[in-house]
C-alpha cells in the first residue's frame, strides 16, 4: 500500500519564485501540485508562463478566490497582498509557507519603519516560525505557519550566524549585497514601486550598470539584525546578472580572534549541513563564493578572508536568489516539517559553465 502524496497549492505562481516552486515541486516524489493561482493569467496554461515546464504539467492558473483546501499552501504573492488576505489563506491549508516579506519581522513597529505602512495583521506575526533550517530546524519540525527570509537576508544570516554564535565581531558589521535582476520580480518590472513605471528594472537600463539602489537601510537589514543580534548596516547594488545574490560582510575582529578561530567557528557551525558549503580554496577560478555556479541549486556557499594585522575580517556568502533565497529554501522547510529527507527534490547541483 502506498501513501497518498501531500497536496500543495502555490499562490502567485506566475512570478519568478512561483515558477521555481513549480519546477521543484513537480519533480518532488512526495508531493502533488494540485493548484497554481494567478489572477492576471487565470485560465491560461502554466507552461505558457513558464515555458521550461512544457510537457511536465497540464495545470492552468486559477484565480486566487477559487482555492479549495490542501495539505500545504505556498504563498508567493507580492508584499502587502499576503497580509491583506492571510485569514483566507490560513483557512485553505493546515500548513502555510509564506515567501513574501509580510511575516518575517516579529515587531510591528520595525515592520512599519522598514516597509512604510502599518502591518495589517500584527497579532499574527508571532505565530509564524522562521523559515531557515540552518538556524531554526527544531522549530520547523512542528511549525504550521512558516515565513521564509528574503534572498539577501538568507545569504547574510547564514554568513553571519557563526560570527554571532562565536563572538567573532567587535562593533558594527557592514553588509554589501549584490543582486541580479530577477530579485525585482515581475510585478516590479511591470509597475514599479507604488505603481510607478519600473523603468529602472528594465534590461536596457540595467545592462552595463552597477546600480546602487539602497546605499543604506535596505529592508533586509531588519531581518539580519533580528536573526543574529548583531549591529548591522546594509546596502544593496543591482548587478548585470539575472540570478544570484552575493553578500560581502566586513567587521572588526573581537579581541583574541584570529584566522584559525574564524575558520574553526565556520567549520563547527556548519558541519553536516546539507546545503551550506565552506569555500576555502587557494587555487581555481572560484576561490570565493560565486552565485554564477549556484544557478538553480539550493546551496549557499560561504567563505572568508582574515587580515590579522588590520584586525578585520570579510565573510562572503552566495546563493541563487530564486532557490536557496526563495523557493528551494521553502521546499527545504517543507521537508523538515514533514519529516522527509532534507535533500528531497533539491539535489540539483548548479551549472558550470553557465
Residue 191 in this model has a pLDDT that exceeds 80: no
**What pLDDT score was predicted for residue 179?**
87
Tell me the mean pLDDT in the region 238-254: 92
Distance separating alpha carbons of residues 88 and 82, to the nearest angstrom: 10
Fold topology of 152-319 = Dihydrodipicolinate Reductase; domain 2 (3.30.360)
On the CB side of 77, CA atoms within 13 Å amount to 25
Q: How far is CA 134 from CA 118, 155, 162, 352, in A?
A: 30, 11, 11, 26
In the chain, what are the domain boundaries? 6-148+326-337, 152-319
Contact predicate 319/325, CB 8 Å: yes
What is the phi-psi region of residue 242: left when phi exceeds 0, alpha when psi lies from -120 to 50, beta otherwise?
Answer: alpha
Q: What is the pLDDT of residue 354?
A: 77
Q: What integer is the mean pLDDT of 72-98? A: 96
**Residue 194 confidence (pLDDT):** 39
Radius of gyration of the chain (CA): 20
Q: Say whether pLDDT at 187 is over 90.
A: no
Average pLDDT, the chain: 92
Beta bridge partners of 252: 170, 312
What percent of the chain is predicted at pLDDT more than 90?
81
205: confidence class by pLDDT, cuts 50, 70, 90 = confident
Asked whether the predicted pLDDT for residue 196 surpasses 80, the reply is no
pLDDT surpassing 90 at residue 305: yes
pLDDT given for residue 4 in this prediction: 83
The H or E element that residue 248 is part of is strand 245-253
Task: List, in order, residues 6 or more apart from 95 with CB less than 8 Å away.
Answer: 71, 72, 73, 143, 144, 145, 146, 334, 337
Residue 280 has pLDDT above 90, yes or no: no
Mean pLDDT score, 274-287: 88
Q: Which pLDDT does position 192 carry in this prediction?
A: 43
Give the rounded distance of the alpha carbon of 250 from its chain centre: 21
pLDDT of residue 71: 98
Taking Cα atoms as reference points, which of 328, 322, 315, 320 lies closest to residue 269? 315
List, in sequence order, the alpha helices (H) in the chain: 16-26, 46-49, 81-90, 108-115, 133-140, 151-165, 185-191, 203-206, 220-228, 259-269, 327-337
Question: Check: CATH 3.40.50.720 for 6-148+326-337?
Answer: yes
Inter-residue contact 12 to 37 (CB < 8 Å): yes
Quote the CA–CA distance of 319 and 277 in Å, as a whole number.
Answer: 11
Check if 95 is active-site: no
Burial of 298 (0-12, 13-18, 19+ CB in 10 A): buried
| Tens digit of each residue's pLDDT (9 = 90 or more) over 4-37 | 899 999 999 999 999 999 999 999 999 999 999 9
Q: Distance of CA 115 to CAs 108, 168, 341, Å?
A: 10, 31, 36
Distance CA 117, CA 5 (A): 40
Q: Which of 151, 249, 300, 333 is catalytic?
A: 151
pLDDT, one tens digit per residue, over 211-227 is 776 778 789 999 999 99
pLDDT (tens digit, 9 = 90+) per residue, 332-354? 999 999 999 999 999 999 988 87
Interatomic CA distance for residues 160 and 325, integer angstroms: 15
- Give the residue-averaged pLDDT of 151-163: 97
Amino acid at each position: 500500500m502506498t501513501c497518498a502524496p501531500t497536496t500543495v497549492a502555490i499562490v502567485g505562481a506566475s512570478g519568478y519564485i512561483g515558477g521555481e516552486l513549480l519546477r521543484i515541486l513537480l519533480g518532488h516524489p512526495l508531493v502533488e501540485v494540485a493548484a497554481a493561482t494567478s489572477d492576471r493569467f487565470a485560465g491560461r496554461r502554466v507552461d505558457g508562463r513558464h515555458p521550461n515546464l512544457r510537457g511536465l504539467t497540464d495545470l492552468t492558473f486559477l484565480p486566487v478566490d477559487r482555492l479549495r483546501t490542501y495539505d500545504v499552501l505556498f504563498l508567493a504573492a507580492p508584499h502587502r497582498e499576503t497580509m491583506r488576505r492571510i485569514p483566507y489563506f490560513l483557512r485553505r491549508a493546515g500548513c502555510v509557507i509564506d515567501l513574501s516579506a509580510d511575516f518575517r519581522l516579529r515587531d510591528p513597529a520595525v515592520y512599519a519603519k522598514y516597509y512604510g505602512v502599518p502591518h495589517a495583521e500584527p497579532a499574527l506575526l508571532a505565530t509564524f516560525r522562521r523559515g531557515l533550517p540552518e538556524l531554526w530546524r527544531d522549530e520547523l519540525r512542528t511549525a504550521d505557519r512558516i515565513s521564509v527570509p528574503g534572498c539577501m537576508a538568507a545569504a547574510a544570516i547564514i554568513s553571519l550566524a557563526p560570527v554571532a554564535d562565536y563572538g567573532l565581531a567587535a562593533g558594527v558589521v557592514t553588509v554589501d549585497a549584490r543582486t541580479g535582476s530577477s530579485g525585482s520580480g515581475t510585478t516590479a518590472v511591470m509597475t514599479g514601486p507604488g505603481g510607478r513605471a519600473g523603468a529602472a528594472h528594465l534590461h536596457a537600463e540595467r545592462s552595463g550598470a552597477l546600480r546602487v539602489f539602497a546605499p543604506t537601510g535596505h529592508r533586509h537589514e531588519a531581518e539580519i539584525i533580528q536573526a543574529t543580534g548583531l549591529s548591522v548596516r546594509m546596502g544593496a547594488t543591482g548587478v548585470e546578472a539575472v540570478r544570484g545574490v552575493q553578500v560581502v560582510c566586513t567587521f572588526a575582529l573581537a579581541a583574541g580572534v584570529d584566522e584559525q578561530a574564524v575558520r574553526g567557528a565556520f567549520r563547527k557551525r556548519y558541519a553536516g549541513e546539507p546545503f551550506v558549503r565552506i569555500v576555502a580554496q587557494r587555487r581555481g577560478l572560484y576561490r570565493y563564493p560565486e552565485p554564477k555556479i549556484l544557478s538553480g541549486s539550493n546551496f549557499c556557499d560561504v567563505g572568508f578572508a582574515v587580515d590579522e594585522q588590520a584586525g578585520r575580517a570579510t565573510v562572503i556568502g552566495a546563493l541563487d536568489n530564486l532557490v536557496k533565497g526563495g523557493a528551494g529554501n521553502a521546499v527545504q522547510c517543507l521537508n523538515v516539517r514533514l519529516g522527509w529527507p532534507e535533500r528531497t527534490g533539491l539535489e540539483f547541483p548548479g551549472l558550470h559553465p553557465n
